[in-house]
Structures are given as C-alpha cells and as structure tokens.
Amino acid sequence: MTASLPLPTFLLAALLLATSGGFDAAANPATIHAFAMDGASDHTLSLMAGLSGVVARTSPEVHLGFRDSDPAADPDFWLNRHVENNPGTRVVWQDDAGWFLEHYKPLLSGYVLYDDGSLNQATSVAGAVGAVMVHESLVGGTVGAALAESGLEQIEDVRGRSSDWVFDRYDFNRELIYRQQPSKLHQLRAHAVLNGGFVFDATGATRDRYLAAQRPQSLVLGWGYENDEQEFFSSASRHNLMTVPADFLQSSAGPARWEVVLPPRPGKADPATPTRPDAHYVAFVMSDGDNAQWLTNTFATSGRWFGSPHRGAFPMTFDLTPALLEINPTALKYFYDQAGPDAQPTTFVTAGGHGINYPSQINDIAGYVDATVQAMQRVDHNVISILDPDNPAEALDALAARPEIAGVMFKTNSGGYADRHGEVRWSSGTAIAAVRYTLWEGFETPDSLTAKLNAAPRDALHDPASYSIVNVHPWSDITDGHGRGDPMSNVAAIVERLDNGVEVVTLEELFLHLSRNQETLSRSVKDDASK
C-alpha cells in the first residue's frame, strides 16, 4: 500500500514511525496528565483517545480515567498501580480537551475530520500521520477554537470515504491490525493510533484483503464481525495471524508503554515433587485469559475471578495471553506480584499463543510455534492451552516437540471444551492432555464434579484416567446444590468436599506427573487400545 499523493515531510516521519512494527521506546514520565472522562462527550473521548496514542509515541504521559466516579472497569486502577510502582510520579487531572491540544501541539500533525459514518477511517488515518480525529460536530465549538488557537490544521477529511480508500492511500503497521465496531467510540482506539494500525469492521473478501497484508504470526486486536467469536478466530487463523479480544480496551496507549520489571511467574511447580501413587490429580484452569479487555477491566478486582478471597486457598491456574506484556505490562506485573505470596500456588499458562487462533486452520505451523514459544518465554510460561474446533494434531505435536514447553492442554470448541474427554497422549516425551470436565451451566455443577472426582481412578503411576483437567468457565453462575454463584467460589465448594485421595494441583504440576510417569502411563494407553 503506497500513498497515492506525496505527503509532507512531517507526515512521512510520522508514517515511518507508525510502520516500524511498533514503538519500542518506553519510559515512565515524572508527570502524568489525566483526562477526566466523567461527563465528557463520546466524540471528545474519541479525540482524547487518539491524542493519547500520538503522545505515547514520545512519552506515555496522557491517561484517560474517571476522576469523580468509580465504575467497576476503571482504567484508573492501572494508573494507581503504576504510581505505586513508581513513587514520586505526579498525576495532574484536566477536564478540558483544549488544554491537551495546546500542550501537545508540537507532537500533533493536525486533525482528521470525520462524521458518524467514518470513525474507523479517521482512527486509521490519525494513526498513520500522527494526528487527532475530530468529529464534525466539534469543529464549531470549543474544540474548534482550541484547534485554531493551537495552530492545528485539518490534514484529511474522511467523511464519505470508505475503509478501502484509506487502506489504499496510507501505509500501516504490518504487525498490528484492529477489528473494531464504529459504535465503540474510544475503546481500543488509543492503542490503534499509538501503533499506526489499520482499523476496520468489514467481513468477507474485504476483511480478507486487509488481513492478507499483515505479516504472518502478527496480531489482530478487537473482536469479530457482529460479535462473532468464531469469525474472529477463524479469519485470522486462515491468514496465519493471531487474535487478541480487545474491543473494550480503555485508555490503552500510556499503559502499553509504561516500563515494568516483570517478576518470575508465581506458583511454579517443584520438579522434585514426588508422584503419589494412590492419588487422582486434578487441575482447575480458568479459561478466557486470551481476552485482554477482561484482564484489564474487572478480572483483577472482581471476587468472581482473580480478585476472589478464595484465591490462595487451593492451587489454581489461569490461562493468560502473553500479549498482555505489550498491551498493559503493569497489569501483568500486578498479577504476578499478587499471586506470588499465595498460600497455595496460583499460576498462569499461555492462552493459545502470542494471541489466540485455531491451529488446525493455519498453514505455517512452524512459524506459529516459533512465535508462540518466543511469546511464552517473554512472560515465563512453559505450559500452553490450545482451543480448536478440530483436532490440530500436527500443531500439538510441534508444540510438544519444543523443549521450552512442559505440557500442552487441549480444549475443543464444543461440548464445553471437553469433547476429548480427558484424553492423554505423549509426543516427543511431552504430555498432551485434553480437558475432562467443564464447570459451566449445562455441563457440570459443583455437586456433579465433586462426585465424579471422588469416584475417579486413583492410580497415578499406571492409569491416565487418574488425571483430570477441569476448565473453569469465568461466566458461570451456578447456584444449584452447593453452588455459590461465581466460578472461584464454586471451585472452593468442590475442593472443600474432595476426598484425601484427590490431589488438587496446578496445571504445570499435573503435567510434571504425566511426563515423569510416561512409560507406565503410556503402557496402559497402549494396552487399552489393543483390547
């Protein structure tokens, strides 16, 4: 994609920066200027999202948050964690968008004019040229006056322009592309502008044209067309891309560039831990950690999930996208820091890869595995959870062949993730184990799972059925029987009623036992197959 008309030098400089594969420079500013979202119009929030993205290329010092209210999903939570990590950082609140336009005018190339039908086009152009996007309704008011006083001129008008027109006229980041609904007026847009990524909401051949221009194994942030999860995952997979659900990502520019020192992953299994011959091993694994917007909104604080008072009372595993290190490293550090002191281990495994895809639908398995292992190493993971509507045996084997990976968990995209019924096999000496049960309405309840686990085989040296992975669905609200209405409380209700012979462990420890006892366990599998 080459611009059809020559661009001024300052726009070319911004364009080159935007297409360099991301902005690697990160810094922790002495002062953060926070814009109060309380009461701001939707179009003002769009403007401020774009401005924060441009500014974060130089210094991640503009944040959007709620100064006068405290919603459940408040991006101020991460601002406060950043300040805790960097004592002495000043936070100065402003509620006037004009102040930001004047203060940061040296970093802005101008503004892109748009209307109700062209927000995605405006976001794309703003990212490509380092501008802010301004809705036509703002031009005649205080924002228009602030633009004039700041000397910021209109450099593009995308009203009536199609996404194809923008795609063909400007160059974009080939490592990051964004699927966003125009109805989401500020969410995810700061991150798109920061990274100079193309933003679209098309499907079919038009979507495929955009995705085909991206580099293999790069990321698609956002969500599916008309909220279709499988469309999102599948379309990216067919182009050898990986996805990160992120369409509700708030104030996403500054936090993506705040520097952290990431501690080691908490809850690591001790390789010297002996296997109990008479035990049934079970690992509870909460799914959906591929979803960056959930991880950065209410996952951290809600009592349903990571913020549960039950966390630390039993071994627990959360799957989590390694892309969080690039999207909000402060959040990743927070999860590791908070889980570290837990009395019983809390740990994390990789959800899908650098992002999530369907491995059965990709054709560059070697590239996928390489990108996945690199992403896992950056966040200190050694176990991966794979979701697929088919049986991606070639990809599972390729992952298992890597010495950096200690175990591969497989969940089907049907039957509550458990259509392989706990199947275990080994490849290159590494166990590949399928989900056996799912704690989720319509599949298992706390009472049914407690009964099944207490009645399960207990021969951890010889019988693979002595190992169970339970997928804990985060949106489950089971109250039947001993159900307590939220996922973590329901896991606690199960653990409290398990017999002594049922050993609750992290997923990493479960794979440790499977791999250590491969010889005797696999013999049992072969014997069963010959009957």
Q: In the predicted model, is pLDDT for residue 8 greater than 80?
A: no
| Residue 9 banded pLDDT, cuts 50, 70, 90 | very low
Q: Are residues 76 and 137 in the same domain?
A: yes
Q: In the predicted model, is pLDDT for residue 3 greater than 70?
A: no
Q: Are residues 231 and 285 in the same domain?
A: no
Q: In the predicted model, is pLDDT for residue 21 greater than 50?
A: no
Q: In the predicted model, is pLDDT for residue 18 greater than 70?
A: no
Distance CA 465, CA 267 (A): 25
Residue 77 lies in a domain: yes
115 by Cβ neighbours in 10 Å (0-12 / 13-18 / 19+) ranks as middle
Structure tokens at 286: 């909460």
Quote the pLDDT of residue 529: 52
Tell me the pLDDT of the chain averaged across its residues.
93
| Residue 10 banded pLDDT, cuts 50, 70, 90 | very low
Quote the pLDDT of residue 528: 53
How many domains are there within the chain? 2
Q: Are residues 369 and 239 in the same domain?
A: no
Residue 12 lies in a domain: no
Residue 1 lies in a domain: no
Quote the pLDDT of residue 525: 67
In the chain, the percentage of residues whose pLDDT exceeds 70 is 94
CATH number for position 413? 3.20.20.490
Angle, in degrees to the nearest 10, between helices 204-212 and 229-237? 40
Evaluate whether 507 touches 409 at the Cβ level (below 8 Å).
Answer: yes
Distance CA 27, CA 348 (A): 27
Residue 8 lies in a domain: no
Sign of CA dihedral 243, 249, 255, 261: negative
Q: Are residues 203 and 341 in the same domain?
A: no
In the chain, the percentage of residues whose pLDDT exceeds 90 is 91
Q: In the predicted model, is pLDDT for residue 15 greater than 80?
A: no
Give the residue with greater pLDDT, 497 vs 1.
497
**pTM, to two decimals:** 0.93
- Which pLDDT tens digit goes with each residue over 92-101? 999 999 999 9
Instruction: Provide the 10 A C-beta neighbour count for residue 484.
Output: 16
- Which pLDDT tens digit goes with each residue over 303-346? 999 999 999 999 999 999 999 999 999 999 999 999 999 999 99
Distance CA 286, CA 319 (A): 6
- Cβ-count burial 213-252 (b if 16+ within 10 Å, e if not): ebeebbbbbbbbbeeeeebbbbbbbbbbbbbbbbbbbbbb
- Which pLDDT tens digit goes with each residue over 414-430? 999 999 999 999 999 99
83 by Cβ neighbours in 10 Å (0-12 / 13-18 / 19+) ranks as middle
Q: In the predicted model, is pLDDT for residue 22 greater than 50?
A: no
Q: Are residues 166 and 292 in the same domain?
A: no
Q: Are residues 465 and 523 in the same domain?
A: yes
486 by Cβ neighbours in 10 Å (0-12 / 13-18 / 19+) ranks as buried
| Residue 133 banded pLDDT, cuts 50, 70, 90 | very high
Name 386's bridge partners.
410
Range of the domain at 377: 280-529
Looking at 254, 289, 312, which one is the last position of a domain?
254
Q: In the predicted model, is pLDDT for residue 531 greater than 70?
A: no
**H helix or E strand, kind and range, residue 333:** helix 329-339
Q: Are residues 424 and 381 in the same domain?
A: yes
Residue 265 lies in a domain: no
Residue 330 lies in a domain: yes
- Which pLDDT tens digit goes with each residue over 58-71? 999 999 999 988 88
Residue 270 lies in a domain: no
Residue 26 lies in a domain: no
Q: Are residues 242 and 293 in the same domain?
A: no
Q: Are residues 461 and 514 in the same domain?
A: yes
Quote the pLDDT of residue 13: 34
Q: Are residues 66 and 107 in the same domain?
A: yes
Q: Are residues 208 and 317 in the same domain?
A: no
- Non-local CB neighbours of 5 within 8 Å, separated by 6+ positions: 169
Name 411's bridge partners.
387
Helices and strands in the chain, H and E counts = 20, 20
Q: Are residues 503 and 413 in the same domain?
A: yes
